[in-house]
A and B are shown apart, each in its own frame.
Chain A
Amino acid sequence: MEEVKLFRTWSSPYALRIVWALKLKGIVYETIYEDLANKSSLLLEYNPVHKKVPVLLHNGTPICESLVILEYIDETWNTTARFLPEDPLARATARFWAKFNDDRVTTSIFRAYVTQGAEQEEAIGPALENLDIVEKQLIGKNFFSGESFGFLDLVFGWIAKYLGIFEETGGIKLLDEDRFPLILAWKDKFCDIPVIKESWPDQEKLITKFQLMREHFISTAAGSS
């Protein structure tokens, strides 16, 4: 009997990747919600290095870091449709774009969302340039992973909901339909997938939370300058 638990917060887009992966593989699991301001002793025990969510607990052993967890799930529950392709070059390419998203795309968009004034204006350029690169990845494809949904869609999936949240709370417009028609088309297809549709956190709660987070970042920055 497999025992699978997922430590997550209700709002973390990284944890959401794991929710999608588990549901798509039909894995039965228990959710343990964490309050990051008051981390449980279990979380600190299972992720002593980073003290972050998500953490997957499989038969008592923890796996941390969302991209590592995704590959673990794919390799362990390997009788159902695989997220990553078989071919080593295709796998290396998928891993490259996953790293690009996690290192560059998210950080540049986050920066545009938590700043204001001249600093925000300066941040928008790199965010848009990174999205241009993302847009190119969809040329000739239905999904980031190709004809059908896969690993890279789990990685980029946050864009389908959280980018809009950052735009609204940050007072910025990034996903322009003339500049990013492919991302917008992908977003519709992605959001139509039942597992995705049913898993989004509450929109209003997300807006409130990310509004507060932005205010916190701005006041911290003002306080330290």
Chain B
Amino acid sequence: MVGSEVILLDFWPSMFGMRVRIALAEKGIEYDYKEQDLPDKSTLLLEMNPVHKKIPVLIHKGKPINESCIIVQYIDETWKDKSPLMPSDPYTRAQARFWADYVDKKVYDALKKSGTLKGEQQEKAKKEFIEILKVLEGQIGEKPYFMGESFGYADIALVTFYCWFYTFETLGNYSIEKECPKLIAWAKRCMQRESVSKTLPDSKKIYEFFMEMRSKLGHDHIQKVEDFSPFRGRGVFLKHGRLVRIRY
């Protein structure tokens, strides 16, 4: 789309990119989605996020906004006349920010470890991950959503991990639903919203993507979902001590 006011640089399986897609959908904002080839980062991505060189990046009237939670708040503050994503009072807003920050600090690393480590280390990692989920589950409690009756910022921060659960449950041979049934009930409730169900890819598709990526790179060399390349932008990896170029 020529001269699009809102552009999103993203990568389809990224749970961080999905947060932004949900927020845009909640607000009914039209935008130009540009899929990024992460091993071979575009000049646009490198120009718009020179510090981290990561997706998602929202470009609004030519200006970039980076970091998924910051982008979601930006969307809420800019398109403020419809579907508020943040609570209206400062205290509940602080709580929403606290919990989104907790998700950012804890969930990604714990989830990844629970599926990629082996043996005793994996058992320990699975336990830690479940503990983190139980804290989140406890915060939601009997409420429909994190902050009460309305779906919002904190829900968006966590729900995008839901489509990745199947992958790590399969790898780690455990069931998140068995350990945290209320959390899964909350996730399914969120999935009833079109913004969420139309954004989250099918869990099996995520699993196929992850397994394909893992077989190309070799199990021990996966560093992160969004950025696999230690040599930024060059798509070159070390696999069994040899340089290998990956495209997908």
Contacts and interface: CB of A to CB of B under 8 A. Distances in A.
Interface of A: 49, 58, 61, 63-65, 67-69, 71-72, 75-76, 88-89, 91-93, 95-96, 99-100, 133
Q: Is the interface of A mostly helix, strand, loop or mixed?
A: helix
A72 B94 contact: yes
Interface of B: 51, 60, 63, 65-67, 70-71, 73-74, 77-78, 90-91, 93-94, 97-98, 101-102, 135
Contacts of B91: 58, 61, 63, 72, 76
B98 A64 contact: yes
A71 B97 contact: yes
A129 B98 CA distance: 29
A96 B67 contact: yes
Nearest to B90: A75
A95 B153 CA distance: 16
A91 B97 contact: no
Contacts of B60: 89
Contact of B65 (A49, A72, A89): A89
Instruction: Identify the interface centre among B63, B70, B102: most chain A CB within 10 Å of its CB.
Output: B70
A44 to B, nearest CB: 14
B70 A88 contact: no
A133 B51 contact: yes
Contact of A49 (B67, B71, B97, B102): B102
A65 B94 CA distance: 9
Given A49-B135, A88-B78, A65 B98 contact: yes
Instruction: Identify the interface centre among B63, B67, B74, B90: most chain A CB within 10 Å of its CB.
Output: B90
Contact of B98 (A61, A68, A88, A96): A68
A65 B101 contact: yes
Contacts of B70: 92, 95-96, 99
Contacts of A99: 67, 70
Contacts of A96: 65-67, 70
A69 B101 CA distance: 12
B94 A71 contact: yes
Contact of B74 (A69, A71, A92): A92
14 contacts: A63-B91, A63-B94, A63-B98, A65-B97, A68-B97, A91-B73, A91-B77, A92-B70, A92-B71, A92-B73, A92-B74, A95-B70, A99-B70, A100-B51
A6 B65 CA distance: 33
Nearest to A74: B90
Contacts of A100: 51
Contacts of A88: 74, 77-78
A95 B93 CA distance: 15
In the A-B complex, the 6 residue pairs with the smallest Cβ-Cβ separation, listed nearest first, are A88-B77, A75-B90, A92-B74, A72-B94, A88-B78, A68-B97
